[in-house]
Structure 1
Amino acid sequence: MPDQLQPNYLDEREEFSLWRFVFKIIKIGVLLLIWGFFTYVLVRIATKPDASSVVTVLPNETALRKVSLPNDATRITLWGPIDVHARHGDFPLVALRVEWRDSNMNRTFQRSAMWNVYLLKDDEAFVKAAKTIQVSPKQKRHYKGVISLEGKNDRPVSLLMLVSICPLVTNHGVIYAALLLIALYVLIVFELTDRTFAALLMATTGIAILTALGNRPTLQNIISWIDFETLMLLLGMMILVAIMSETGIFDWMAVLAYRISMGHPWPLVILLSTITALMSCILDNVTMLLLMAPIAIRLCEAIGVQTPLVLIVVVMYSNLGGTLTPVGDPPNVIIATNPEVEKDGIDFAIFTLHMLPGVLLAVIAGFGVVYLTMRRSLFKLEDRQIELVAEREAARRRISAEINTRATQLRELQSARPCIRPADNYFETLAHLEAHHRIRDKTLLIKCMLTMVFVIFCFLMHSLPFMPGATLGWVAILAAFLLLILAKMNNIQEVLDQVEWSALLFLAALFVLTEAVDQLGFIHWMGEHTVRMIMGVDERHRTTVGILIILWLSAILAAFVGNVPVTTMVLRLNIALHHNEAIKMPLSPLIWALSYGVCFGGNGTLIGASANVVAAAIAHQYGYRISFIQFLHLRLPHGAGHHFAGHGLPPDGTLVRNDPENSSCNDNA
């Protein structure tokens, strides 16, 4: 902010504390142990190449491929014209088994269960299907491993087959995955290190655990785990907002909120929250916090209310507003850009339509809950803010003649009987804000508005058949290019400096960590227990029970682990439930439950959402502190209350009923 008093607490020297010194030594020791573990493993163990080959399966014939099986299991991955949405009994298909045969390949001693791989009519399709198959013979030395592919099709089909001889089938993998998530939580909650660095450490540790278990991923595989569509969307929107901030539009909106509220605290808090929620529907909420948090701090100092509490409320409404659209919150970005979700027909408009009822209910109820819980504490200023307010009042006595004249004009223009009586020092504060917060570049603002029209148009038109390439990530990047061209940016480094690169790196590390946790079997373990719970109820109520399980499971995990990794994990669980033949659940209601759960659950703790951490970091820059316990105390009851709003969606999870044929299953999951 141009007139923001810079915090001087960074210049203060900390007094020596023995306990603080011991804590630092322990912290460095723990981090060195983690570094030593994954460094030793990654240096000592090399990547084991998997055997790949092209197999041509003829109609009504069986193709055999010899394979070395040093373990009791193998993971087979197939690429080709595979129908991953086919149901049991469909035709055509290739039936695959893993067998142990004698040296002459004539006699079969043991074989696995049949894996039916259903085929598409389009021979040019290239779809992936994978399955881990276990076979445990009593005597391996006299047997040979064989993969048998039986063609039950009416024409030849060629498949690319990749055989991994070291799959993870140990039950200890679930324990290792849980320890990874707990370690990430401990590093962040107790502030042992930076959040991004903690995610990088745990992601590397996850790779090291996979390596120690004999399944080291290649660099190409690790890169493929990162969802670049999500990162492209966030990067593009951050560039757009960085340029838009140069116009002064966000500062002008803050002044407008102060003018409408007549300087009264509660109307101002409501207006700030509403503006943040509305803007977070279009722009991602992390970027909105980068802009709105400094403005909120300035206004809190101007009207004398507790800044950390207002920031927490603003964060809450940025998360609520971001819940509405696929571009407002990183979890929604992950959900909306998933290929399985797109195939189910969920586009920008349908997503927004289904999320609207719950978001509106949560927003309206949230204002009442905020007032009831903060009506007294909002005006209890901290010592640091009391000093800032005193400095601000002293500065007002030395305001320039121009601002003083403007304050007099505002007082004269005020209606004799206004609907809301102005607060004390309202006209002086408004004149001061108008002098320092105004539209600075109208031409650039028009260019920004044209670019945003292009963005919104492409988001809405993505579902149409003539714009299949208008994905969220590409639209954001193309819009960023457009605005950079229109704005005639001579020095792009100034724009790139405003991009939150640490947030992008944090998300990339979480994608890698989530994939490592998945390969360790944690998601499969959760899926088995979820299926068991759903199967335990009557078939008529399984969809409702599944929605409630996903809703609360994702919310609880999001609050205490972070909604970004939880979204990736539970989304895979949803897809597995959708393809499970025993349950046959439609995907769309699980998607709405997941979105409500992770977005509302992210309001529960300081690490629940990326926007929460961004707000805490900005508050720290201005001399305020939002602790984990303070955030938990204020937000967890609100988050639970908002989460009940998610129960308002219909039992089948849809406002527009989908074709039941879309809820088909197959055994490729």
Structure 2
Amino acid sequence: MTALAIAALAIFIVAYILIATERVPRIAVVLGASALLVILGATDDQAIFFSEETGIDWNVIFLLFGMMVIVGVVQHTGGFEFLAIWAAKRARGRPMRIMMVLLVLTAVLSAFLDNVTTVLLIAPVTLLICERLDIPPVPFLIAQAMASNIGGTATLIGDPPNIIIASRSGLTFNDFLLNLGPIVVILLVVFLGLCWLLFRKQLRYDPERAALVMALDAREAIRDLRLLIISLVVLALVLTAFVLHSALNLEPAEVALIGAGLLLLVSRFDPVKALAEVEWRTLVFFAGLFIMVGALVNLDVIGVASRAVTDAVGDQHALAANVLLVGSAVLSAVVDNIPYVATTAPLTADLVAAGGDQAEPLWWALALGADLGGNATAIGASANVVMLGIARRNGHPISFWTFTKYGLIVTAVTIALSVPYLYLRYFA
């Protein structure tokens, strides 16, 4: 590597350490590191603002923005309070049962929407339930971020890295569902058991609180029925467009922006109030992170590492799948899995092209490693960053290490189960 590449890598490592230790606000870290990389010449305005490979991923930024606006409007209807009371009553006010219900709901929604949209929808409901039952929301929020990443692995639209893989490979929605759906179901069942082991002691059952919840009438929580109906119609249209975005020739970000604009226009909701609900800190953090990783891509730092691995395994496809699975999990824990997959997908395409049908499972290894590896740390996946932003904004900050100590366990178990799945299904 060149001296500039080494300097850029050093800046990235220092920035990551500062983010992990939380000694400096993470927004200040990513913006400061981005500024240094620009000053050094590791990246420039063209690479940052206009390059799909090395710049800010505007699709992710505006997808988040659009959905934040929609969710912000829905919050003013009382719909989340209705759903919170309904869910708590169905689970008889028992925290562990409520967690299981919400985790399954999160995973299923993440498969057919995307994981970021799902956490934006589920988190407000969770916070309201926890407030009603006087239980800590942090275990719920951490587990839901992980459930969204696991569930999103199953389909083409469930996790942004899968969309990148599909565009490079030509694989269809059904290809993802048939190849990744079975292992995701297994992983979800195992994950529910892990959550019971990890969080059950933090979730106490209070009969008095549960009795108060059971006495509530969910319908009384609705504050603006007209706005709720309009919001649900627009949200249904947005979710349908997400599923059909390829046929409609619309990117998910475009769908989210159109939906947000349509909702504000039809409902006549105050745009100032809607924009006040946007997690601006989260959006800025993502932009800075994309710049940092883009600089490494621009200098071919990530590419050198990926090529070294692929050259080492050659045409040993089973070995290559395992290396890609585990390596992607490790790297996706360190850098956001979206730019990582954007860098690795072309290399995987070369391997698959050289190996033919026998090498096609490498795509599933990449998807599993990147999607599940995103659970390992607080910044490994977009859903994690968004969930932590929501938690902080609502007075329940989750530190990097609080998330990561659980994430490492979940990632280790899910990746360990994915290894035999790949071997038995494709190479045995």
Give the shorter-chain TM-score range. 0.7 to 0.9
Residues in 1 aligned to 2:117 and 2:331: alpha-carbon distance in whole angstroms: 24
CA distance in structure 1 between the aligned counterparts of 2:393 and 2:294, rounded to whole angstroms: 34
Q: Give the match for residue 47 of structure 2.
A: 221
Distance 2:81 2:378 in 1: 26
Q: Which residue of 1 aligns with 2:321?
A: 547
CA shift in 2, pair 1:498/1:300, >3 Å: closer
Aligned counterparts, 1:298-317, within 5 A = 298-317=128-147
TM-score (normalised: structure 1): 0.56
Tell me how far apart the structure 1 counterparts of residues 425 and 253 of structure 2 sit (CA, whole Å): 27
Task: Find the aligned partners of 1:444 and 1:222 in 2 and give their Cα distance.
Answer: 39
Does 1:333 find its partner at 2:160?
Answer: yes
1:48-197 alignment to 2 at 5 Å? 170-197=1-28
Tell me the CA shift for residue 585 of structure 1: 6.2
Say if 2:74 is the partner of 1:244: yes
Q: How does 1:468-507 map to 2 (within 5 A)?
A: 469-489=249-269, 491-507=270-286
Note the C-alpha offset of 1:262: 0.9
CA, structure 1 residues 592+482, in 2 after alignment: closer, same or farther (shift >3 Å)?
A: farther
Alignment partners' CA distance in 1, 2:72 and 2:112: 15
Instruction: Give per-residue Cα distances to partners, 1:475-501, cap 9 Å, x unaligned.
Output: 222222222222223x21211221222
Identical-pair percentage? 30
Structure 2 residue aligned with 1:201, among 22, 32, 46? 32
CA shift, 1:259, in A, is 0.7
3-state SS of 1:513 partner: helix
The answer to whether the Cα contact below 8 Å between 2:156 and 2:176 also exists between their aligned partners in 1 is yes
2:373 to 598, 601, 624: 601
For residues 132 and 239 of structure 2, the distance between their equivalents in structure 1, rounded to whole angstroms, comes to 35
The aligned amino acid for 2:254 is W
After superposition, give the CA deviation of every residue in 1:528-587 in whole Å (9 maximum; x if it has no partner). Answer: 31122212xxx3xx333222222211211222x24x2x4313432231242369944678
Residue in structure 2 matched with residue 558 of structure 1 by the alignment: 332
Q: Distance in 1 between matches of 2:224 and 2:419?
A: 45
Match of 1:233 among 44, 63, 71: 63
1:240 Cα deviation after fit: 2.3
Distance in 2 of aligned mates of 1:239 and 1:230? 14
Change (3 A) 1:449 1:345: farther
Q: Would you say the 8 A contact 2:352–2:360 is kept in 1?
A: no
**Which whole-Å CA distance do the structure 1 matches of 2:385 and 2:236 have between them?**
30
Q: Spell out the pairing of 1:212-611 with structure 2 (5 A cutoff).
A: 217=44, 219-224=45-50, 225-286=55-116, 288-290=118-120, 292-328=122-158, 332-336=159-163, 338=164, 341-342=166-167, 344-348=169-173, 350-379=175-204, 423-432=207-216, 434=218, 438-464=221-247, 467=248, 469-489=249-269, 491-535=270-314, 539=315, 542-559=316-333, 561-562=334-335, 564=336, 566-579=337-350, 583-584=354-355, 589-611=361-383
Deviation per residue, 1:603-662 (Å, 9 max, x gap): 2223333443444454455554533333333332122112234336555999xxxxxxxx
Q: CA deviation at 1:298?
A: 4.3
Rounded to whole Å, the distance in 2 between the matches of 1:630 and 1:295 is 22
User: 1:443–1:319: structure 2 CA closer, same or farther, 3 Å change rule?
Assistant: same
Is the strand fraction higher in 1 or 2?
1
Measured in 2, the distance between the counterparts of 1:618 and 1:572 equals 29
Instruction: Give distance in 2, aligned partners of 1:369 and 1:460.
Output: 30
Distance in 1, matches of 2:131 and 2:352, equals 59
Q: Name stretches of at least 5 consecutive residues in structure 2 with no aligned partner.
A: none
- Letter paired with 1:554: S
Output the TM-score relative to the length of structure 2: 0.84
Counterpart residue identity of residue 160, structure 2: V
Q: Is the 8 A contact 2:77 2:223 kept in 1?
A: yes
Q: Distance in 1 between matches of 2:368 and 2:217?
A: 38
Q: Would you tell me which structure has more helix in proportion to its own residues? A: 2
Q: Is the 8 A contact 2:112 2:243 kept in 1?
A: no
Matched to 2:102, the amino acid is L
